[in-house]
Amino acid sequence: MPGVGIISNRNARLNKLYPQLKDRLAFIVGRGGELASTGSLDDARTAIEEFRRVAIDIIAISGGDGTAHRTIELLIDIYGTDQLPPVLLLPTGTQNMVPGSFGIRSSGVTTLLLALARYRHNVPLRCIRRNVLKVNDHYSFMFGVGIAPRFLELYYGRDATTPMGAAKLLGENAIGAIKGTEGARRLTAPLPMEYRIDDGPVQHGNPHSVFASFVEEVSLRFRLFPRAGWDPGVFEVLMAKDSPFLVAKALPFLWMGSLRELEGFDRHVMRSLEMVLENDEPYTLDGEVYEPVNRFRITAGPEMRFVVPGFHIRPRDSRLRTEKVGPWDMQFIV
């Protein structure tokens, strides 16, 4: 059965605020697909197994970055790495960093309408080709250890888990970094480690944060990784060191996606990164915080196709890898 299969996470922020959203998505897709409202990973697994059985054309994910991360892990497990269907991300989470990196700024409803208008008329859809990270046994778009999970633990501990709440907390900590407060020092406590880039020698370092990503943007549209999508199997890594003041000083350039070298940061593109930390540390994958560990092996996972309806190449995106999917040889009855 051709069509669009939608995984709608009813625990995602907008789905919880507006429970009727899933009904709107189901109405839009109509008889041209199916919507599965999921409340657990088991629900999502059952839905994806059914989508695979009926050979669905496109899988859409309604939820935030965490929903996309968990669903893509299930897709890789169920489909394998060679037969993955195109994925359409419908932003209904808190930050929506991954769809924002792909240029999807509209609501989940608008994005689905744009995609279905082309799909139902058998017009090819443009896709961005992008690897995902493999971090130990997990798959994700972004990884962070150090300041990222520490900041998220503070953020999730507040009532205001909104973009405005994140911006306010970031501003408070940026001011704290300039003043040298105890809170800022805890946020940027060093991570003594040994690490190896690709097949190079083992190095010793003392950064306070390490980030790796296959997508350009993080929260609040900071383009920390402007080179993340340039080449297959090559992701971008940012190591932050030295004082909290240098982090605050670099924030404007990190927001703009500057390629310049920044004082207090090491920037690399690589195919693998191995780290052994002196102490166990929590880490984050696509906005979800995981239990502390002290060993990380980060490599390129499978390359996937992400549908971006209405996407057009901008000058800064000229190195992105794109293709078109469809037409689907549908039969139309007039």
Task: Report the percent of the chain where pLDDT is more than 90.
Answer: 47
What pLDDT digit, counting tens, does each position of 174-184 carry?
566 555 666 66
Predicted TM-score of the model (pTM) = 0.86
Residue 29 pLDDT: 87
Q: What angle do CA 64, 67, 68 make, to 5 degrees?
A: 90
CB of 187 within 8 A of CB of 150? yes
Q: Between 99 and 248, name the one with better pLDDT.
A: 99
d(CA 311, CA 325): 13
Chain-centroid distance of CA 7 in Å reads 17
| DSSP annotation of 308 | -
Distance between CA 100 and CA 102 in Å, rounded?
A: 5
Say how many CA atoms lie within 13 Å of 172 toward its Cβ.
Answer: 12
Closest CA to 316 of 233, 219, 217: 217
CATH class of 138-301: mainly beta
Tell me the CATH number for domain 4-121.
Answer: 3.40.50.10330
Identity at 120, one-letter amino acid code: R
Question: Is the CB of residue 25 less than 8 Å from the CB of residue 108?
Answer: yes
CA gap 212, 284 in Å, rounded: 11
Q: Which band of pLDDT confidence, cut at 50, 70 and 90, is reported for residue 320?
A: confident
Q: Is the pLDDT of residue 159 over 80?
A: no
Domain range annotation of the chain:
4-121, 138-301
pLDDT tens profile 24-53:
888 888 888 899 999 899 999 999 999 999
For residues 286-299, give the mean pLDDT: 94
Of the pLDDT bands very low, low, confident and very high (cuts 50, 70, 90), residue 334 is: very low
Q: For residue range 195-220, list pLDDT tens digits in order.
A: 999 999 999 999 989 999 999 988 77
